[in-house]
Amino acid sequence: MTHAFVTVTIPFASERAQDVNNLLSTLGNPAQGAIAAALDEGAFVHFMSIVVVHKEGEPQAHLVLDASADGYAQAACARLAGTIGDKICEVLQAAGLTVPGQDLGAYLEKYRRNVGPGWFSTPGILFAGTPGMSVPRIKAEAQLASWIRDWLERNRNPEPALEKLQRLRDEIFKMPDYKWAFVAEPVPLLGKTPRLSAAVRPLLVSLVRYLLWPLFLLPVVAAIVSLWLFRRSIVHAFLDALLVFGLEIALAGIGLGIAYRWLRRQEEADAPRRSWPARTSSRKTTSPERRP
């Protein structure tokens, strides 16, 4: 099961911030009424919040919609529009924004931000919640757990634990609604701890994918220039690219070393002051009732 992390930030005039907050308060915290029922029926949202971010004195405020849902982000925007689109449109209208209901999914997608560690992403760390578990599965397991608790309360007679467990399994197996519990479903989160080599590989892939990929641009450009402009062989073009890559690594290492040394100096210079405040200063902050 893939999880979608949706963060939508929509700008609007700051003078409408209070109107939007007043409307959001009617929806409840947590959500109540029709919007809560619609989200429960949709059964794809793990978490969702809508808040107004506004700094005093700024001409613009932002409506921030944050959601964790099953599936992919673009599809989640469309499903949110189809599930609670009328309520979202009411909030947008309170902010002075008018969006036709049929275009709401595309409108949310327009203002959706990619949050992550990449160079062109909005910096941030996302809360994964229950990776690999869909909302229907979570609800079904909660319902089954509640039924098992009731069954155990009704069957308090003393008997060997293994026999009671087998009797419970037999009772569950007789119920068509709970047959799914006997079919194993892959949940990577609960799998075995991977070996170090298996854990390092995806870490390196993510490191290159999100942060280190710019290092490969200049070597590729150098190889293309070597092939087309200087008419060198493929082997020489590869060596030129390797040389450029080596120079990049060396310069990056020097830069990291300088940055590390500078940060260490800043840390050493930021020593705490252990001197006591002057008596005259402490008197100024002492209340009349408690004089020194």
pLDDT given at position 198: 64
Residue 44 lies in a domain: yes
pLDDT given at position 61: 93
Alpha-carbon torsion angle 74, 76, 82, 88, nearest 10: -90
Considering only the C-alpha atoms of the chain, give the largest distance between any 2 of them, rounded to a whole number of Å: 89
Q: How many degrees, rounded to 5, is the angle at CA 132 between CA 126 and CA 136? A: 105
- Kindly report the pTM of this predicted structure: 0.66
User: Cα–Cα distance between 237 and 185 in angstroms, integer?
Assistant: 50
Give the domain CATH number at 117: 3.30.70
- 71 versus 132: the higher-pLDDT residue is 71
pLDDT for 126-173, tens place per residue? 777 777 788 998 899 999 999 999 999 998 888 888 988 999 999 999
pLDDT given at position 292: 35
Q: What is the Cα 19 distance to its own chain's centre? A: 28
Confidence of residue 56 (pLDDT cuts 50, 70, 90): confident
Residue 291 lies in a domain: no
Burial letters for 266-285: b for 16+ Cβ neighbours within 10 Å, e otherwise?
Answer: eeeeeeeeeeeeeeeeeeee
Verify that 13 and 104 share a domain, yes or no. yes
pLDDT given at position 92: 92
Verify that 99 and 48 share a domain, yes or no. yes
Residue where one domain finishes, among candidates 123, 149, 171: 123
pLDDT given at position 189: 61
Verify that 102 and 9 share a domain, yes or no. yes
Verify that 98 and 167 share a domain, yes or no. no
Out of 31-40, 141-150, 184-193, 254-263, which region has the weakest mean confidence (pLDDT)?
A: 184-193
Residue 201 lies in a domain: no
Q: How many domains does the chain have?
A: 3
In a 13 Å sphere around the CA of 172, the CA atoms on its Cβ side amount to 23
User: What separation in angstroms does the CA of 224 have from each of 128, 205, 232, 285?
Assistant: 41, 25, 10, 70
Verify that 255 and 224 share a domain, yes or no. yes
Verify that 50 and 20 share a domain, yes or no. yes
Environment class of residue 109 by beta-carbon count within 10 Å: exposed (0-12), middle (13-18) or buried (19+)? middle
User: Cα–Cα distance between 215 and 201 in angstroms, integer?
Assistant: 19
Domain limits at 220?
A: 212-269
Residue 236 lies in a domain: yes
* Average pLDDT, rounded, for the chain: 84
User: Cα–Cα distance between 68 and 6 in angstroms, integer?
Assistant: 6
pLDDT given at position 196: 64
Confidence of residue 282 (pLDDT cuts 50, 70, 90): low
Confidence of residue 187 (pLDDT cuts 50, 70, 90): low
pLDDT for 218-265, tens place per residue? 888 888 888 887 778 888 888 888 999 899 889 989 998 999 999 999
Of all residues in the chain, the percent with pLDDT exceeding 70 is 90
Verify that 14 and 111 share a domain, yes or no. yes
User: What separation in angstroms does the CA of 138 have from each of 70, 203, 207, 260, 276?
Assistant: 12, 29, 32, 46, 57
- 46 versus 277: the higher-pLDDT residue is 46
pLDDT given at position 10: 93
User: What separation in angstroms does the CA of 98 have from each of 12, 102, 106, 275?
Assistant: 11, 12, 13, 60
Confidence of residue 91 (pLDDT cuts 50, 70, 90): very high
- 195 versus 153: the higher-pLDDT residue is 153
Verify that 7 and 115 share a domain, yes or no. yes
Residue 106 lies in a domain: yes
* Residue 278 pLDDT greater than 70, yes or no: yes
Out of 15-19, 24-28, 97-101, 280-284, which region has the weakest mean confidence (pLDDT)?
A: 280-284
CB atoms within 10 A of CB 223: 20
DSSP state at residue 230: S
